[in-house]
Amino acid sequence: MSGTSLDGLDLVWVRFTQLPNQQWDLEWGPGRTVSYADTRWEKDLPQAYTRSIESLKATSQEYATWCNQQVLRFLKEEGLPQPEVVGHHGNTVHHRPNEGTTYQLGNEPEMAAHLTGTVVGDFRVDDVALGGQGAPLVPVADRLLFGTYAHCVNLGGFANTSCEIDGLRRAWDVVPLNIVANELAQRVGLNFDDRGLLAASGTLLPSLFSQLESLPYFQLPYPKSLAREDVERDWKPLLAQALAQHPLPDVLRTFTEHAASRVANDLRFGAPGTALLSGGGVHNEFFVRRLKHLAPRPLEVLDAHRSNFKEAAAFALLAALKVRGENNVLASVTGAQRDHSAGRLLKNSFVTKK
């Protein structure tokens, strides 16, 4: 899968076993992140959202071919057999569910070239067609794989959370996270803010913090989701204005506090219990420290391997459910008309859709 933080393509080998208690057991195998650094995707993907969908067709096919090559190399180098099912989450470049639009690069037949198993991709489009947000999609895996936790919080390009409220699984995007923090760090020559040290060196800017906390998105009820377009419109102008007047560490410190504040606020919902943290953001020790200070419930951080690849494993489960003909998207999460089984089956030279 490729996430909004745009650090690379995450690949993981997993094995699922269905248990009698409506849960699934997850056996973890090898995983790797193929960096976009020094590839064409380092520049192409961040700018793709500015292009029309029609103009991206050739790029999508080329990206699918590249992703397929990385999967094949991963299998060969790890000594793994061909998988029965591959779940493929392409790179989202347009996501405007309220306008009925969502588009990802890489959901092409080329993704399945030389793979003998069933490849499932393009999970979002069916949900948007049914009136849903097309995101978040991981919560069905949260329920089936990590159901003992009161909240499952993914700290990726966007922070999102998933929990049970009144017997229904609910989930929503909470706040932009790595998509903003990484870009701020890159202004001073860093790929990302290692352990949050740069943010920790800064001073909180009360005015900027208040402006960020007052953005309209936080007044919307769930289900709701965020896209890069929202960041460009709402967050970046405030950050740019602050950067013109204050040192970058102070702006990053304030943004980090803002993100921790919003995640902590949304952990108020749901039943009592522990929240499980995963995703690249768990490596930002300063952010996690601030979140633990603000959170109204205990937090547990998933170990590095599972944390790095939990979201990729979730899409593998969504693909397995699709192949089994079972629902893999919950209407209570996305706001769609009904629960449904989303995804296109990609098979070498042809594409079929249920």
Domain ranges, ordered by start, for the chain: 8-134+312-352, 141-306
Per-position b or e across 64-94, b if 16+ CB within 10 A of its CB: bebbbeebeebbeeeeeeebebbbbbbbbbb
CA–CA gap between residue 59 and residue 339 (Å, rounded): 32
Q: Tokens at residue 138, please?
A: 């991981």
Q: Are 332 and 340 in contact (CB under 8 A)?
A: no
Q: Check residue 348 and give its pLDDT.
A: 62
Q: Does domain 8-134+312-352 sit in CATH 3.20.20.70?
A: no
Residues 347 and 326: their CA atoms lie apart, in Å, by 20
Contact 170, 138 (CB under 8 A): no
For domain 141-306, give the fold: Nucleotidyltransferase; domain 5 (3.30.420)
- In this structure, the chain runs to a length of 354
CB atoms within 10 A of CB 116: 11
CA distances from 68 to 119, 150, 315, 319, 336 (A): 10, 36, 16, 16, 31
- In this prediction, the residues of the chain whose per-residue pLDDT falls under 70 are 348-354
**What does pTM read for this prediction?**
0.87
* Fold agreement between 8-134+312-352 and 141-306: yes
Give the pLDDT of residue 351.
41
Residue 96 has, within 13 A of its CA and on its CB side, a CA count of 7
